[in-house]
Amino acid sequence: MAKPIKVGIVGCGTVGTAVVEILITKQKEIKEKSGVYLEVSKVAARDWSKKRFFNVPEGLRTTDWKEVIDSSDIVVELIGGIDIAKNVVIESLRKGKPVVTANKHLLAEYGKELAKLAREFKTSLLFEGAVGGGIPLVKVLKETLVSNRVDEILGILNGTTNYILTKMEVDNLPFSVALKEAQEKGYAEADPSFDVEGVDAAHKIAVLANLAFGGFVNFSDIFIEGITNIDLLDIKLGKELGYRLKLLSIAKRRDNGEIEVRVHPTFIPFDNPLSNVDGVFNGILFKSDYLGKLKLQGAGAGAYPTATAVVQDIIQLAKQLSFCGKTFDITPLGWNEKTLKVAKDFYSRYYLRFDVEDKPGVLYRIAKILSEEGISIAGVLQQEWIFKFLPQSSEVIPLIILTHKAYESRIKKALKKLEELSFIKEKPTLIRVEEERY
């Protein structure tokens, strides 16, 4: 029998436990299919008294992550967060140990440093499970599209927020109720801020942008807006107008060499392929010069989808170690260390809702201020069908304006002026619109 490749795992939470389960229960099947013999060496966790859905054998357990590194040919980091995880990955790479991680937070903020370290010590850093769970997004960018110029990425990359928005729309629920249901079903954490504020999705689009555009994004340059302020009324009105609301992660290449990287609630047309990605599922669209448009959809999170992606990376590295004696897939992150220039402003269409007094001259005053900022109006809606969504006692009415493409900075400047008008009774609502149809 071939010498086993020893795999050590740091972190035995939901995903870590699933990885251990797959490696132990599917050991024979993996060997038959891939030709590599994998053996779990050590598994590190902070607390082994905690009940898990798979019983990790006593002999594999440790609380010392350094013991995992020393006993392994491949180190798997699944502890999450930054501090300890970063130390695990750095020490592993410095010892020439290839690393598999699903830690998008770590990669988004320290990917440049870790990629440089992997090259310096001639070892590998793989992370298919960090973005998209069981959807092979990293593989597509580093292999399928490597000969293409990727111009645009649009993605629904967070299952929690997608579930909440779907429940709001389908079941007519306000945000707070939909969030509570997501928590009860285990789709949202007790502290859901990373998800609902868009940070998790931003970590993921940062990693994809790094791969697609050949460099590194400073995470602080990404525009991030979550879904906590989404009003059910706008979801209803958007649907009447032919749109569905999604928390969209966007990365676009500009002709001047800059890129747009942003995360925010976005209206997309019904015929956009992402509009039917519902519940906890993820979906992504790549647009490239030769392949054109490519859509991928599937389970974007959860123990087994993510664990499957992690095991895929483990097998890839194990094959190299078994047949070549070393790993050569150093890292799929950019070979150069350039920092990608992220645009400070971006260009989009907008849905604007103003809660106004119903009196003459309102539309004229609003249109005048928009015009002064160079914003062209594509459509105005103040029709009777809107009233079916309002309480009978309502003293204000919604005025909806759809704009042509405009710069975000101009829109924000105009809204600041408009908020000062006495007949506008609430802060205006702004939702960006990705209009391209497929």
φ, ψ (nearest 5 deg) of residue 13: -85, -150
Q: Please give the DSSP secondary-structure letter assigned to residue 43.
A: E
Q: Give the Cα-Cα-Cα angle 75, 18, 324 (nearest 5 degrees).
A: 35
Q: Are 100 and 76 in contact (CB under 8 A)?
A: yes
From the number of C-beta atoms within 10 Å of its C-beta (0-12, 13-18, 19+), residue 373 rates as: middle
C-beta of residue 379 within 8 angstroms of C-beta of residue 237: no
Bridge partners (DSSP) listed for residue 9? 43, 76
Contact 154, 253 (CB under 8 A): no
Is residue 434 classed as helix, strand or coil in its secondary structure? coil
φ/ψ bin of 338: left (φ > 0), alpha (ψ from -120 to 50), beta (otherwise): beta
Specify the amino acid at residue 217: V
Rounded distance, CA 288 to CA 135, Å?
A: 19
- Cα separation values, 263 from 12, 219, 226, Å: 30, 12, 8
Do residues 109 and 134 lie in contact, with contact meaning Cβ atoms separated by under 8 Å? no
The conformation of residue 152, written as its DSSP 8-state character, comes to E
List residues with catalytic annotation: 204
Burial annotation 289-298 (CB, 10 A radius, 16+ → b, else e): eeeeebebbb
Q: Is 275 helix (H, G, I), strand (E, B) or coil?
A: helix
CB-CB contact of 216 with 334 (8 Å)? yes
Measured distance CA(198)–CA(248) in Å, rounded = 9
